[in-house]
Protein backbone atom coordinates (compact mmCIF):
# COMPACT_ATOMS: atom_id res chain seq x y z
CA UNK A 1 0.00 0.00 0.00
CA UNK A 2 2.79 2.34 0.79
CA UNK A 3 4.43 1.14 -2.37
CA UNK A 4 3.66 4.38 -4.11
CA UNK A 5 4.86 6.54 -1.31
CA UNK A 6 7.92 4.40 -0.77
CA UNK A 7 8.87 4.63 -4.41
CA UNK A 8 8.55 8.39 -4.36
CA UNK A 9 10.58 8.57 -1.19
CA UNK A 10 13.25 6.40 -2.71
CA UNK A 11 13.48 8.61 -5.76
CA UNK A 12 13.77 11.58 -3.47
CA UNK A 13 16.51 10.10 -1.35
CA UNK A 14 18.39 8.81 -4.36
CA UNK A 15 18.51 12.14 -6.11
CA UNK A 16 19.42 13.88 -2.92
CA UNK A 17 22.24 11.48 -2.15
CA UNK A 18 23.48 11.69 -5.69
CA UNK A 19 23.56 15.44 -5.49
CA UNK A 20 25.49 15.24 -2.26
CA UNK A 21 28.06 12.92 -3.73
CA UNK A 22 28.34 15.12 -6.75
CA UNK A 23 28.96 18.10 -4.55
CA UNK A 24 31.65 16.19 -2.72
CA UNK A 25 33.33 15.45 -6.02
CA UNK A 26 33.06 19.04 -7.13
CA UNK A 27 34.42 20.23 -3.85
CA UNK A 28 37.34 17.84 -3.98
CA UNK A 29 38.16 19.07 -7.44
CA UNK A 30 37.80 22.72 -6.56
CA UNK A 31 39.97 22.21 -3.50
CA UNK A 32 42.78 21.32 -5.85
CA UNK A 33 42.04 24.04 -8.32
CA UNK A 34 40.52 22.02 -11.12
CA UNK A 35 37.04 21.79 -12.51
CA UNK A 36 34.84 18.73 -11.97
CA UNK A 37 35.36 17.66 -15.55
CA UNK A 38 39.10 18.03 -15.25
CA UNK A 39 39.02 15.89 -12.14
CA UNK A 40 36.98 13.23 -13.84
CA UNK A 41 39.40 13.25 -16.71
CA UNK A 42 42.45 13.02 -14.46
CA UNK A 43 40.92 10.12 -12.61
CA UNK A 44 40.10 8.37 -15.86
CA UNK A 45 43.68 8.78 -17.02
CA UNK A 46 45.07 7.12 -13.92
CA UNK A 47 44.76 3.73 -15.48
CA UNK A 48 45.72 4.06 -19.08
CA UNK A 49 46.71 6.41 -21.85
CA UNK A 50 43.71 6.50 -24.15
CA UNK A 51 43.41 8.27 -27.46
CA UNK A 52 41.35 11.40 -27.62
CA UNK A 53 38.51 9.45 -29.08
CA UNK A 54 38.55 6.84 -26.35
CA UNK A 55 38.83 9.46 -23.67
CA UNK A 56 35.89 11.37 -25.06
CA UNK A 57 33.83 8.20 -25.09
CA UNK A 58 34.88 7.33 -21.59
CA UNK A 59 33.82 10.72 -20.28
CA UNK A 60 30.74 10.92 -22.44
CA UNK A 61 31.97 14.02 -24.22
CA UNK A 62 32.20 15.17 -27.77
CA UNK A 63 35.64 14.88 -29.30
CA UNK A 64 35.88 18.60 -29.67
CA UNK A 65 35.04 19.06 -26.01
CA UNK A 66 37.72 16.60 -25.01
CA UNK A 67 40.17 18.43 -27.19
CA UNK A 68 39.68 21.70 -25.38
CA UNK A 69 39.67 19.93 -22.05
CA UNK A 70 43.05 18.39 -22.74
CA UNK A 71 44.32 21.70 -24.10
CA UNK A 72 43.69 23.37 -20.77
CA UNK A 73 45.11 20.51 -18.78
CA UNK A 74 48.18 20.48 -20.95
CA UNK A 75 48.78 24.17 -20.45
CA UNK A 76 48.77 23.41 -16.73
CA UNK A 77 51.28 20.66 -17.23
CA UNK A 78 48.96 17.93 -16.01
CA UNK A 79 48.85 15.84 -19.16
CA UNK A 80 50.90 15.23 -22.26
CA UNK A 81 49.90 14.42 -25.79
CA UNK A 82 51.99 11.55 -27.00
CA UNK A 83 51.80 11.00 -30.74
CA UNK A 84 51.13 7.42 -31.64
CA UNK A 85 53.60 5.74 -33.97
CA UNK A 86 51.16 3.12 -35.08
CA UNK A 87 48.69 5.64 -36.32
CA UNK A 88 50.12 9.02 -36.95
CA UNK A 89 46.70 10.62 -36.87
CA UNK A 90 46.28 9.49 -33.35
CA UNK A 91 47.38 10.93 -30.05
CA UNK A 92 47.58 9.27 -26.68
CA UNK A 93 46.92 11.32 -23.61
CA UNK A 94 49.05 10.61 -20.57
CA UNK A 95 49.30 12.06 -17.13
CA UNK A 96 52.53 13.84 -16.35
CA UNK A 97 54.18 13.31 -12.99
CA UNK A 98 52.43 16.29 -11.42
CA UNK A 99 49.22 15.26 -13.11
CA UNK A 100 49.39 11.79 -11.65
CA UNK A 101 50.13 13.20 -8.25
CA UNK A 102 47.20 15.58 -8.45
CA UNK A 103 44.88 12.84 -9.62
CA UNK A 104 45.87 10.71 -6.67
CA UNK A 105 45.35 13.56 -4.25
CA UNK A 106 41.91 14.34 -5.59
CA UNK A 107 40.83 10.73 -5.54
CA UNK A 108 42.03 10.38 -2.02
CA UNK A 109 40.20 13.50 -0.95
CA UNK A 110 37.04 12.18 -2.54
CA UNK A 111 37.44 8.95 -0.66
CA UNK A 112 37.87 10.76 2.60
CA UNK A 113 34.87 13.01 1.98
CA UNK A 114 32.70 10.05 1.21
CA UNK A 115 34.05 8.23 4.24
CA UNK A 116 32.95 11.13 6.39
CA UNK A 117 29.58 11.03 4.76
CA UNK A 118 29.23 7.33 5.49
CA UNK A 119 30.23 7.63 9.10
CA UNK A 120 26.73 7.43 10.56
CA UNK A 121 26.15 4.07 8.89
CA UNK A 122 26.59 0.82 10.70
CA UNK A 123 28.75 -1.83 9.13
CA UNK A 124 25.75 -3.87 8.11
CA UNK A 125 24.19 -0.90 6.42
CA UNK A 126 27.34 -0.24 4.48
CA UNK A 127 27.46 -3.66 3.03
CA UNK A 128 23.75 -3.54 2.28
CA UNK A 129 24.32 -0.23 0.54
CA UNK A 130 27.22 -1.56 -1.46
CA UNK A 131 25.30 -4.64 -2.42
CA UNK A 132 22.20 -2.73 -3.48
CA UNK A 133 24.08 -0.13 -5.47
CA UNK A 134 26.25 -2.75 -7.07
CA UNK A 135 23.15 -4.43 -8.39
CA UNK A 136 21.68 -1.42 -10.10
CA UNK A 137 21.88 -2.88 -13.58
CA UNK A 138 24.20 -1.57 -16.23
CA UNK A 139 22.35 0.37 -18.88
CA UNK A 140 25.12 0.76 -21.43
CA UNK A 141 27.23 -2.35 -21.29
CA UNK A 142 28.24 -1.94 -24.90
CA UNK A 143 29.34 1.65 -24.39
CA UNK A 144 32.65 0.82 -22.79
CA UNK A 145 34.00 -1.16 -25.70
CA UNK A 146 37.43 -2.21 -24.67
CA UNK A 147 39.69 0.00 -26.72
CA UNK A 148 41.82 -3.05 -27.21
CA UNK A 149 43.66 -1.47 -30.05
Partner DNA sequence: GTAAAATAATACGTAACACAAACTAATGTC
Partner DNA sequence: GACATTAGTTTGTGTTACGTATTATTTTAC
One symbol per residue from 110 to 139: x for binding DNA (CB under 7 A), - otherwise; what is it?
------------------------------
* Per-residue burial over 33-67, b = 16 or more CB atoms within 10 Å of its CB, e = otherwise: ebeebbbbbbbbbeeebbbbebbbbbbebeeeebe
Q: Which does 35 bind (CB under 5 to 8 A by kind): DNA, a copy of itself, none?
A: DNA
Residues 55-94: x where in contact with DNA by CB under 7 A, - otherwise, as a string:
-----xxxxxxxxxxxxx--------x--x-xxxxxxx--
How many Cα atoms are found within 13 Å in the side-chain-facing hemisphere of 89? 1
> What residue 119 binds from a copy of itself, DNA, none (CB within 5 to 8 A, per partner kind)?
a copy of itself
Bridge partners of residue 50, in order along the sequence: none
Q: Is the dihedral of CA 104, 106, 111, 116 positive or negative?
A: positive
- Binding mask 106-135 toward a copy of itself (x if CB under 8 A, else -) reads ----xx--xxxxxxxx---xxxxxxxxxxx
Q: Which of residues 52-71 bind a copy of itself (CB under 8 A)?
A: 60
Distance CA 55, CA 66 (A): 7
Distances (CA, A) of 145 to 95, 111, 140: 22, 27, 10
Rounded CA-CA distance 8/110 in Å is: 29
Among positions 26-55, residues that touch DNA (CB under 7 A) are 34-38, 51-54
Using CB under 7 A as the criterion, which residues of the chain lie in contact with DNA when the complex forms?
Answer: 34-38, 51-54, 60-72, 81, 84, 86-92, 147-149
Instruction: List interacting residues with a copy of itself (CB under 8 A).
Output: 6-11, 13-18, 20-23, 25, 60, 110-111, 114-121, 125-137, 139
Amino acid sequence: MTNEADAAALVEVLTRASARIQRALDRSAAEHGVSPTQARMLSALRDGAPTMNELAGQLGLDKSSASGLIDRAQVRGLVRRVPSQRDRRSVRVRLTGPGRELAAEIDSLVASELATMLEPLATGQRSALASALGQLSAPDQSACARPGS
